[in-house]
Amino acid sequence: MAITITLDDDLVAGLENKAKKQQLSVEQFVIGILTEAAEESESETLQEVVARIRATPPNPSLIRPATGNLADLQIASPDDPYFDLESWERQWSILEAESKAITRANDVAEGRGGFPVCHHFP
């Protein structure tokens, strides 16, 4: 059976490098990875997979060091020359109104809110 998978160019380059080191074609290398993964997934429970993942050391190539100071990226304040307080307050009011409407709708749908039902008996 033939399957076509579109991969990111960077991923393909990494697979090519690893396959070359093992003197395999990219296809052979990827088939090996998929075969191993399929065999592992058949024999492992979810708890075993989680334990294996937790035991795997971090890959330094996937860690990107900070490029700036988080404090420099904090939410704008009224002292910021680019901060538009009126616009911010308007947007905040819209957000609050939407949040309240969703909460009311959820309360009504789940029987926690709405108006009390009045029964009139003769």
Task: Check residue 43 and give its pLDDT.
Answer: 66
Q: Which of 64, 83, 71, 62 is nearest to 11 (CA)?
A: 62
Digit-by-digit pLDDT tens for the chain (122 residues) are 778 888 888 888 999 999 999 999 988 988 888 888 877 666 677 788 888 888 988 888 888 888 877 777 666 565 777 778 888 899 999 999 999 999 988 888 888 765 555 555 55
DSSP H or E stretch at residue 111: none
pLDDT, residue 92, reads 93
Q: How far apart are CA 26 and CA 11, in angstroms?
A: 11
Contact 102, 110 (CB under 8 A): no
Q: What is the pLDDT of residue 99?
A: 94
- Whether 96 and 88 have beta carbons less than 8 Å apart is answered as no
